[in-house]
Structure 1
């Protein structure tokens, strides 16, 4: 039986996505007080007013990788000056396996062993592990009054910290 996150963790870390009523696909995303738009490109019937869902998934991988490397280097007191991650997504068909290509650039007076170790740590970032493992998605319909806003629990930060402690 797969390990699951408690309903409390899911509710506290929930991201709210609602249609804006503008265009066919535009949605507003609210995540811990930040608000931004997602949309489909104009060529696919959207307005191009924000990243598409796969852009957001690739961004999650890049952000998590960057943050995890920064946290690890800081804990080790390594001279990491800057981390930059470029992620692209591809899939040949709806039933084909997805591929995320991640290019990591680090600057600083790091030796080769440190760079190799950072590559290993990149594969331990929580979003990378989620994508590599796959995930269970539980869907249920709820009454409109049950939808709400909240502040989050820092679940990602806890998982990222655990990834760094394993090394």
Structure 2
């Protein structure tokens, strides 16, 4: 098992009904719900954050792979939407991936294949174990650097495995 990352600290703000602040690498930001659901719309919703994580990991992994292979990739844009099947309750995240660059069909196909190998896609597809424990006091670890370095290592491993299997 790998070393756990430093925690991302999420705390209620006392403003609005749902607003929380998130202390992660970089600036602290808000997560909230839309006004029509009782929030202040002061930040992304939790499901938007999941979609953003999937989109960011997809674009970053594709970019890393292209750079390693010397592919002429100029830009990747990933649009992610979320829905839930009313009958089964299963969540679905749909990615629309725009790739810009002087790529041939084989290179484009290869980049689309690596998109499905990004670490967040793998985690979301397989699920994850989640544990909870009560503690005696608040965490004072917000914005402590360095943050989670496991993602960059996981992207590199995905690119390496893809070369061996793909």
Could you tell me the TM-score, scaled by structure 1's length?
0.90
Q: Pick from 93, 99, 117: which aligns with 1:100?
A: 93
1:160 is the counterpart of 2:147: no
Q: Pick from 45, 50, 55: which aligns with 1:52?
A: 45
Distance 1:153 1:37, change over 3 A: closer
Distance 1:153 1:53, change over 3 A: closer
1:119 is the counterpart of 2:101: no
Q: How far apart, in 2, do the equivalents of 1:94 and 1:157 lie?
A: 37
Q: Pick from 2, 8, 21: which aligns with 1:15?
A: 8
Per-residue CA shift, 1:88-139, capped at 9, x if unaligned?
A: 0000349511100000000111000011111110000000000110111011
Structure 1 residue 74: Cα displacement: 0.2
Structure 1 residue 34: Cα displacement: 2.2
Q: Note if contact 2:9-2:139 (Cα within 8 Å) is conserved in structure 1.
A: no
Structure 1 residue 144: Cα displacement: 1.4
Q: How far apart, in 2, do the equivalents of 1:49 and 1:153 lie?
A: 25
Structure 2 match to 1:87 = 80
Distance 1:147 1:94, change over 3 A: farther
Structure 1 residue 147: Cα displacement: 4.6
After TM superposition, which residue ranges in structure 1, 4 or more long, deviate above 3 angstroms?
none
Unaligned runs of 5+ in 2: none
Size of the aligned set, in residue pairs, is 160
Q: How far apart, in 2, do the equivalents of 1:157 and 1:34 lie?
A: 20
